Chain A
Amino acid sequence: MIPQTFEYTAPKTLDEAMVLLEGGGKPLAGGMSLIPMMKLRLATPEHLIDLGRIKDLDYIREAAGELHIGATATHSSVENSALVKAKCPLLAAAAGAIGDPQIRNVGTMGGSVAHADPAADYPAALQALEAKIVIRGAKGERTVSAADFFVDAFTTTLDAGEVVREVVVPVEQAGTGTSYMKMPQPASGFAIVGVAVRVRRGGGKITLARIGVTGLSNIGYRASAAEKALEGSAGTADDIMKAAALVTQGVDANSDLHASAEYRKHLASVYAARAITAAASKA
């Protein structure tokens, strides 16, 4: 399996990269989605712009109550970052659930969100975290919410020549319980379904519930009906079951050789119940 020939450039700065991308180049990050597609010739880019040598894109830092994850931060650096584990444990959990160690050592945050695989793990967490995606283009930067960034399977709001520069997530408030639960496809590790949950309590009630779901449909989404059912409830086992039953409401579930639509919906409710229970127990 040999990809079609291409030109390769590895700029050292984002400014240089932007010029090359403007000229029609395609970004290469970890290559964990792009290279397999190139080997199958499902992708035949003529000019690859390797973002891997741009030091300014590889960071994880905290500023003003938020964590900023640079586009080329690898899944394993997010998974193992003391900062992310302490301040945004849901994101660390989602990163650690991706594929296998070798994939996590090279695959990146920016590549994962830009690729927008319907079975990717980050979208569930980023929806539940109400994350922001910072996009750099020829005309400057714009910031898009995760809810608006993902448009359809393998489709985002990124225009040609634009790149994801960083992903911004909130520092989790004390007392928030989080959990990411996933049913992996056994060979690849991709999510058949994955559910990310954040729960906060106050005065004996659930005061905040955020539920992100991946794998079920073409894009990760927030299960608003389930969130509403949970908020204001006492968060008993019964409340959780009722909310979990709502996570698939109004969703067009995908069907493939790994799982039928009906089975996926069933799994989504089961994994939602488990993730809500786990998150609530930590809240």
Chain B
Amino acid sequence: MKINLTINGKKYSPDVEPRLLLIHYLRDVAGLTGAHIGCETSLCGACTIEVNGKSVKSCSMFAVQADGADVLTIEGLAQDGKLHAMQEAFWNQHGLQCGFCTPGMIMACKAILDHNPNPSDDEIRHGIEGNLCRCTGYQHIVNSVKAAAAAGAGK
């Protein structure tokens, strides 16, 4: 099935099988390996991306459902070689260790600030309920979101 979508500002018009999951399209076909596959069962959030401005788990969506959509992956966050404020904050605050959860975690954290530029600790933890991290114990991730908020990353 022929679909059209925009990923990180670039247009793609692939012919895909309906059963192709969006994460497999991104990683295996479009070559965008930033979003990771952790659980593949919709629980870990490593595959989190934005579709039409909303964070979703791309392992649980078919590519055909994204026909006509505007997709943003972790690769699209940095602009002109400059990291997004959330990426910068994760770097500065040690928001990652092994980094496996990080692409999805940063996308989920960005979504928190898109709706709430100044979240409390509780609101941040509530906002990353769909993302698992086996390394950091989450505290440094919470610190990163607060640092990004302080830097004005929210809309």
What residues make up the interface of A, taking CB atoms closer than 8 Å to B?
1-8, 10, 28, 31-32, 35-36, 38-39, 48, 50, 52, 76, 99-103, 105-106, 187-189
Beyond the given A2-B24, A102-B57, please list 5 additional residue pairs across the A-B interface where CB-CB is below 8 A.
A8-B62, A10-B67, A31-B60, A35-B62, A103-B42
- Asked whether A187 lies within 8 Å of B43 as measured between CB atoms, the reply is yes
Which chain A positions have C-beta within 8 A of B149?
none
* Interface window among B48-56, B74-82, B87-95, B140-148: B48-56
Query: B153 near A: Cβ within 8 Å?
Result: no
Q: Which of B19, B40, B64, B131 has the most CB of A within 10 A?
A: B19
How many inter-chain residue pairs (CB < 8 Å) link A and B?
A: 75
B103 to chain A minimum Cβ distance, whole angstroms, is 14
What residues make up the interface of B, taking CB atoms closer than 8 Å to A?
1, 17-19, 21, 24, 40-43, 45, 48, 54-57, 60-62, 64-65, 67, 108, 111-112, 127, 129-131
Which chain A positions have C-beta within 8 A of B127?
101
Which chain A positions have C-beta within 8 A of B62?
8, 31, 35
B134 to chain A minimum Cβ distance, whole angstroms, is 13
- Asked whether A188 lies within 8 Å of B43 as measured between CB atoms, the reply is yes
**For the complex, what is the distance from the CA of A101 to the CA of B108, rounded to whole Å?**
8
**For the complex, what is the distance from the CA of A101 to the CA of B19, rounded to whole Å?**
24
- Asked whether A50 lies within 8 Å of B45 as measured between CB atoms, the reply is no
**Known: A102-B108, A105-B55. Is A32-B130 also a contact (CB below 8 A)?**
no
- Asked whether B18 lies within 8 Å of A101 as measured between CB atoms, the reply is no
**Known: A8-B64, A31-B60, A31-B62. Is A3-B19 also a contact (CB below 8 A)?**
yes
**For the complex, what is the distance from the CA of A277 to the CA of B19, rounded to whole Å?**
48
Which chain B positions have C-beta within 8 A of A76?
54
**Known: A3-B19, A6-B19, A188-B43. Is A101-B111 also a contact (CB below 8 A)?**
yes
Given A7, A102, A103, A106, which contacts B18 in the complex, CB threshold below 8 Å? A7
Q: Which 9 A-B pairs have the closest CB atoms?
A: A100-B130, A8-B18, A100-B129, A105-B54, A102-B130, A3-B19, A102-B57, A35-B60, A1-B40
**For the complex, what is the distance from the CA of A100 to the CA of B129, rounded to whole Å?**
5
**For the complex, what is the distance from the CA of A105 to the CA of B1, rounded to whole Å?**
25
Which chain B positions have C-beta within 8 A of A31?
60-62, 65
A207 to chain B minimum Cβ distance, whole angstroms, is 35
Which chain A positions have C-beta within 8 A of B55?
101-102, 105
Q: From A2, which residue of chain B is reached at the shortest CB distance?
A: B19
- List 30 contacting pairs A-B, 8 Å CB cutoff, sorted by A: A2-B19, A2-B21, A5-B18, A6-B18, A8-B62, A10-B64, A28-B65, A31-B62, A31-B65, A32-B42, A32-B60, A35-B42, A35-B60, A36-B60, A38-B19, A50-B64, A52-B65, A76-B54, A99-B129, A100-B130, A101-B55, A101-B112, A101-B130, A102-B55, A102-B108, A102-B130, A103-B57, A105-B54, A105-B55, A106-B54
